[in-house]
Each structure stands twice: as structure tokens, then as C-alpha cells.
Chains A and B, each alone.
Chain A
Amino acid sequence: MSDLSLLVQMGFGALLALSVYLPLRCGQLSLATPGFYVIGGYVAALLSTRWPALSGAGTGYPLTSLALELVVAALVAAAVALVLGRPVLQLRGIYLAIATIALVEILRVLNLNLAWSGGAVGIFGIPQPFAGPGGYALATWVLLALVCWLCARLEAMRLGRAMAAIRDDELAARCMGIPSADVKLTAFVISAVIAALTGVLAAHFLNTWNARQGGFDASITTLAFVVFGGSRIWLGPVLGGLVITALPELLRPVGDLRLILFGLVILLGPILFPQGLITPERLARLQQTLRRP
């Protein structure tokens, strides 16, 4: 069963990595993912602990209420991303990164100081929609499969091709008539929604939610998923998220050396594979080797 709860956390890692990957897919380095993750978590924590009508009559927390939380969180995150996206996405490269870090910090400080978010203690005693980690694993991996499917479809869709064009050369893309501002905003909103949905599941899974869940450290961790796995194709961030989340836990038998080994892996990954573990070329080569009898 512990492997199941590790699977859940790995799924969260992969989802957050995809949320960082989508803006990167059109060349936007946005570190806002933990901000939307925290928004999703607070939506779930507040709705499930402060609104008794949602708890239902049975022993467990009803799945319909969970679905409602997912919808509300997605709407809130999309609204915030829409409002902030327009001005923020005028920035490029490192300036966009700084602006999104500021967004994450502002949200963290707000959550620490507002009365309804419970301050540093946060919100605890969040009810459980599933009896054990199995249910969470199912929900997380279904969500992950959906997002992966969406990312894979993007490769063939007009939107995905527009994103790739903007990543390669935004000026040229605009000359070709691609509405670059709209495309970037769409990617930012989808990224926000994915992070918020992950936050909803994570808040229930962790039993407690507080401002520490999303901060500057979390921004860097989610970025590391993508740097480690690769940002050219969606399989990269998924693999990065899965591996980097699982590694500290899988290394437990090593004992005191475990974080040193983990650090080594993080260090050696980008040195040996500067483009990330998975690149389209490497995938194609792998496929050829597999096809050969």
C-alpha cells in the first residue's frame, strides 16, 4: 500500500511537471505552477471543511463533492490565469520567470496572513473521499492519462503547432498570422487548470493544506522535473516528475546517504543529458531499435 501512496505522489509530480511544460512549449518560462497548485488546494480544503452540505450523509466524503471541488478549482484558477496572463505574458524569458515567482510569493504571503486560510497552521482535518491510497492513485493516474492524451493530441492540433512555432521564433510566427498572445494565454490557462486540479487531489491526500505547499522551493522543484526529463516532448516532464518525486523514497534503504545520492542524480542528469532524458531524436532511435527484429 505504501507503494500506492508513492504512486500518488509520483502522479502529482508528473502533473505539475506537465503544467510547467505547457507554457514552455510556446517558449514561456513560467514558474507560476505552485501558485495555482496552492489555489486548487485551498479551494478543496475550504470547501470540504467549511461547507457542511458537501460532506453528505454517509461515512466517507462523497465523490460528487470532490467533482464539484475540481470544477470550482479549475474555474478559479482559469479566472486568475486569464486576468493575470494578459499583462504578465507581455514579459519574456527571465522577466516572465521573475514575475511568476512574484505571483507565487504574493499568494504565499496572502495565505499566511488572511484569516480564512488558517495562517501558518493552515487547514487540517480535510475529509477523505477515498478509503485508501488506491482510490487516490486511480484518480491521479486517470487525470494524468487525460493530460498526457491532451499533450499528445496537441502535437497534431493547430494550437500545438502554433505553440511550437512561437517557441522556435515568435516574430516569424506572428508574421505568419499566428495570434501569439492568444496562444500563449491559452497555454498559461491550461497549465493553471492542471496545477489547480492536482492541488485539489493533493489537499485531500495530504489531510492538511498550508501556505508552505507552494513557495519558491516548489517553483524550483517543478522546474527541475522539466529540466531533468526534457522539455521538447511531453514524455520528458512526465518522466522527470515521476523519477524525481520517487527517487528520495526509493533510496530510503541507503539510509543517511540518500539525499546525497539524490543530489548527485539531479546534478549528473543535466550534465550528461543537457536536453533532458527524453528528446524526440532519442525516442525515434529507441523506436527504430525496437522495430528491428
Chain B
Amino acid sequence: MQAGQLSRIAVALGAALALAAGLAACGPRAEDQPLQLKGGVPVGAVLSLTSNANAYGQDQQIGLKLAQTWFQQRRNANPQEALELNLRLEDGGGDEATASQAFNLLIDAGVVALIGPTLSQQAFAADPIAQRRSVPVVAPSNTATGIPQIGSFISRVSAPSTEIAPLSIAKALQLTPSIRRAAVFYAQDDAYSTSETVIFQKALTDKGLKPVTVQRTQLNDQDFQNQISSALRESPDLIVISAQAVDGGNLIRQLRELGYRGAIVVGNGMNTPNIYPICQGYCDGILIAQAYSPELDTPVNRDFVALYQEAKGGAIPPQLTAQAFTAYQVVAEALQRLNQRQPLAQLSLAEARKALLAELLGGQYDTPLGEISFSPDGEVLQQRFHVAQVRMQPDGRSGRFLLLP
């Protein structure tokens, strides 16, 4: 084939696609159409069901499923009052592009609100898209600093690490007052870990425990012997870890295997029972601050725990599941209140999204996390936090988060 022909193909190809893009951009906008209520009010969720972050996505998916069951039960009991939701779940993967694409897909499908994405790093890419197109987002698990500040439509039910991270350090010091030498580990290529470790290190310094060493790891690391041996040379009696589930689990395992016997405090990234198969018996005794307590004695939490135990054979629900349940509940209850005040069928999609945002941020919610509400910029206002210690069964395969008084 001649070069001239090929270059003509190239120009024609580019021109055709550019024209198509231009035309499509001028087409009718979905936002002006009336809200599609067939099959329930459309709500989207973007969770990490693939990639390394699926350790979190699985927990969250169960939370959304249980919330759907719970609302179904309430609707069966009281058909007039309850509004039906049509939840559409898309995989957000572990990277920015996949999460953004899933957000775009769901927004175009005409959802009134979005739940997700799983990782804070994804939120920085995907949330601005929702903000520009005026779609309310409720984040169930983004704990990094600055998430609600992305825009007026962005809110979260996950308390930021600035609030909860210092609690576990205080608890470790209360349990072992003799602690003098703290070592810090964090995954330096992860947005959540790097922002959480800053808070941990400040909390340590505030308690008069300037870290004796700070070790950096990578999310994809398997082997931590270098970092561990240089940390153990400083003979620490407290180790504070900010990492994600898989690498953090391996790190704890190797710490214990190399002979460290002191206290271990970990951050929110390891706040999932999915670490049990990784560090097994070695998980025993680690401390994690919690935004959720399974022992909270309110009707909604009793229902939630019962549903979870029914689904998972008696296990205790983790925080990520409770937060995902809460995110769904917040959206569903806000929609219900809005519908009572101003029937959704009369609103266009854009109006419904705006009205839902106001309703969402203005409300009070009785959730498995306790009573929560939102600050005007979308930050969650939560009353109580807890610290849990992992207790493993002697076989090392299963365990539980035991709340400390």
C-alpha cells in the first residue's frame, strides 16, 4: 500500500472521529429528561471488585446487598411509605481511569446519586466528574484528607483518618504504658497510607514518642526483610503501620517471624477480616481504630448484625461493610424524605439530583455507625469511635475484631 493512501486514511479517520465527537457533544442532554422511575429510583455504586483493592470492595458489596435486603423487608412491612431503589453496581478496579469510566457510565445511565469509589486516590479522579455534572456522591470508604472539599456534591460517611487514627495509639499506650520507642512503617506509593502516616506520626510526637525510625515500603512489595531488620536494630516496642490489606498483612507476618514481640498498631487500610488469611495466627493482638462497633445496641445495628450473620454464618460485620450499608441507607432515606415532600416523578433528572443533595446533607440518620449527620461541606459528623484488637482462633484461620472498652 502506498504511503499517500495511508496518510489519507489517517486524516480521514481522525476527521471522522473528531466530527463524531463534536456532534455527540452537541446532542440532547440526559439531565433535562424526566427522572426514569421504572424499576425503582436509579442509584449507582462504583466499588473495587477487581485488582488488589478488591479486599475492600468485597466487604462493601456485602454491605450494599444487606442494605437492599433491609429496605426490602421494610417495604414489605409498610408498602406505602417505602420507596424502591434500583441499585446499579459497576466495578471501579484499582486505578483512576476505570473508576472515572464507571462514574461516567452510571451518570449517563441517569442515576440520581453515586456511592463510591473505594479508594481515595480514585476519588480524586472520579469525584470531579460527578461534581461537574451535579450528581451527589456519598463515599463509603474514602478517608484521605480533602475528599469532601473536592466539591459541593461530594460527601462521605467514612470518618477521616485525622479523627480516628490517633485513638489506636492512645489505646496502645494505655495498654502498655512502658512504651518508649515507636517505629513507623508506611507504603510510600499509596495516597491513603502516606496521608495516614502523617497523622500517626503527629499523634506519636504529641504523646512524646518521636518515632525512632520511619521505614518506607511499596504496595507491591512481598518481602520486607530489609526494612524490618533496620527497624528492629532500633529495638522498638511499638510499631505503627499504614499500608493496605495485602502488603500490610505480609509485613505483620514477617515482623513476627523475625522475632518482634511488641505492640502493633495498624491503620484503616487493614480494617478488614480479609487480612486473616494473609497474616493468619500472626494477626493476633494488632490494634485498629474503628468507626463502627458491632456491639452498638440500637434497632438498626441489631438488624444489620443479624442480616450479616445470616449471610456469613455468624461472623461479625467489619467496618467497611457497615459503612457501605450506611451509605446506601443515607441515600435511600434522603430520597424517601424528598419523595414525600416533592414527588420524584414530577422532577427532571437534574432537579432531582440538586434536591437530593440538599436533602442528603440536611438530614439526621440513625445508622449502624450510630447517629450521623453531615457538615455543610459534606464531612460526616459521627459521635463515637472505638479501638479493636484482633483475636485469632488457635487454628490461625479465623478471628475477630474484639472491641476494647
Contact with A along B101-130 (1 / 0, CB 8 A): 100110110000000000001001100110
Q: Which residues of A contact B188 (CB under 8 A)?
A: 112-113, 119-120
B14 contacts A211, C-beta separation under 8 Å: no
Known: A1-B108, A6-B101, A252-B105. A149 touches B96 (CB 8 A): no
Q: State in angstroms the CA–CA spacing of A134 and B90 once bound together.
A: 23
Q: Which residues of A contact B121 (CB under 8 A)?
A: 120-122, 208, 210, 212
Distance of B323 from chain A, by nearest CB (Å): 21
B21 contacts A155, C-beta separation under 8 Å: no
Interface of chain A residues 51 through 75 with chain B (CB within 8 A): none
B124 contacts A120, C-beta separation under 8 Å: no
A152 contacts B104, C-beta separation under 8 Å: no
Q: Which residues of A contact B3 (CB under 8 A)?
A: 152-156
Q: Which residues of B contact A213 (CB under 8 A)?
A: 96
Q: Does A9 contact B (CB under 8 A)?
A: yes
B25 contacts A4, C-beta separation under 8 Å: yes
Q: State in angstroms the CA–CA spacing of A145 and B21 once bound together.
A: 14
B129 contacts A7, C-beta separation under 8 Å: no
Known: A2-B105, A256-B49. A248 touches B98 (CB 8 A): yes
Q: Which residues of A contact B15 (CB under 8 A)?
A: 145
Interface of chain B residues 10 through 52 with chain A (CB within 8 A): 10-11, 13-15, 17-18, 21-22, 24-26, 30, 49-50
Interface set of B (CB-CB < 8 Å, partner A): 1, 3-4, 6-7, 9-11, 13-15, 17-18, 21-22, 24-26, 30, 49-50, 90-91, 95-98, 100-101, 104-105, 107-108, 121, 124-125, 128-129, 132, 144, 146, 150, 187-191, 193-195
The answer, among A122, A137, A148, for a CB contact under 8 Å with B10, is A148
Q: Which residues of B contact A208 (CB under 8 A)?
A: 96, 121, 124-125
Q: Does A110 contact B (CB under 8 A)?
A: no
Q: State in angstroms the CA–CA spacing of A46 and B121 once bound together.
A: 18
The answer, among A235, A249, A287, for a CB contact under 8 Å with B101, is A249
Distance of B136 from chain A, by nearest CB (Å): 18
Q: Counting chain A CB atoms within 10 Å of each CB, which of B11, B14, B49, B128 scores highest?
A: B14
Interface of chain A residues 219 through 247 with chain B (CB within 8 A): 233-235
A128 contacts B132, C-beta separation under 8 Å: yes
- Size of the chain A interface, CB-CB below 8 angstroms: 57
Known: A1-B108, A152-B10, A256-B49. A134 touches B97 (CB 8 A): no
Which applies to chain B's interface (DSSP): helix, strand, loop or mixed? helix
A152 contacts B101, C-beta separation under 8 Å: no
Distance of A21 from chain B, by nearest CB (Å): 14
Q: Does A93 contact B (CB under 8 A)?
A: no
Q: Does A270 contact B (CB under 8 A)?
A: no
Given known contacts A137-B25, A142-B18, what 10 new A-B pairs fall within 8 Å (CB)? A6-B101, A120-B187, A121-B144, A134-B21, A137-B17, A137-B21, A144-B14, A148-B13, A212-B95, A213-B96
Q: Does A94 contact B (CB under 8 A)?
A: no
Known: A142-B18, A287-B1. A149 touches B10 (CB 8 A): yes
Contact with B along A128-158 (1 / 0, CB 8 A): 1000111101100110111011011111100
Q: Which residues of B contact A119 (CB under 8 A)?
A: 188, 194
Q: State in angstroms the CA–CA spacing of A257 and B15 once bound together.
A: 35
Among residues of A, the one whose C-beta sits closest to the C-beta of B26 is: A134
Interface of chain A residues 94 through 133 with chain B (CB within 8 A): 108, 112-113, 119-122, 124-125, 128, 132-133
B105 contacts A207, C-beta separation under 8 Å: no
Q: Which residues of A contact B30 (CB under 8 A)?
A: 1
A206 contacts B14, C-beta separation under 8 Å: no
Distance of A263 from chain B, by nearest CB (Å): 11
A120 contacts B21, C-beta separation under 8 Å: no
A235 contacts B6, C-beta separation under 8 Å: yes
B101 contacts A112, C-beta separation under 8 Å: no
Q: State in angstroms the CA–CA spacing of A122 and B146 once bound together.
A: 13
Q: State in angstroms the CA–CA spacing of A40 and B13 once bound together.
A: 26
Contact with B along A1-25 (1 / 0, CB 8 A): 1111111010000000000000000
Q: Counting chain B CB atoms within 10 Å of each CB, which of A108, A142, A207, A213 scores highest?
A: A207
Q: Which residues of B contact A9 (CB under 8 A)?
A: 97, 101
Q: Which residues of A contact B124 (CB under 8 A)?
A: 121-122, 124-125, 207-208
Q: State in angstroms the CA–CA spacing of A155 and B9 once bound together.
A: 14
Q: Counting chain B CB atoms within 10 Å of each CB, which of A145, A248, A284 scores highest?
A: A145
Distance of A171 from chain B, by nearest CB (Å): 26
**What are 23 A-B contacts defined by CB distance under 8 Å?**
A1-B108, A2-B105, A2-B107, A3-B24, A5-B100, A7-B21, A9-B101, A108-B189, A112-B189, A120-B188, A121-B194, A121-B195, A122-B191, A125-B128, A137-B17, A138-B25, A141-B18, A145-B15, A148-B11, A152-B6, A211-B189, A235-B6, A248-B98
Q: Does A271 contact B (CB under 8 A)?
A: no
Q: State in angstroms the CA–CA spacing of A119 and B1 once bound together.
A: 49
Q: State in angstroms the CA–CA spacing of A213 and B107 once bound together.
A: 25
Among residues of B, the one whose C-beta sits closest to the C-beta of A258 is: B91
Sorted nearest first, the 7 A-B pairs with minimum C-beta distance are: A145-B14, A134-B25, A148-B10, A137-B21, A152-B7, A155-B3, A156-B3
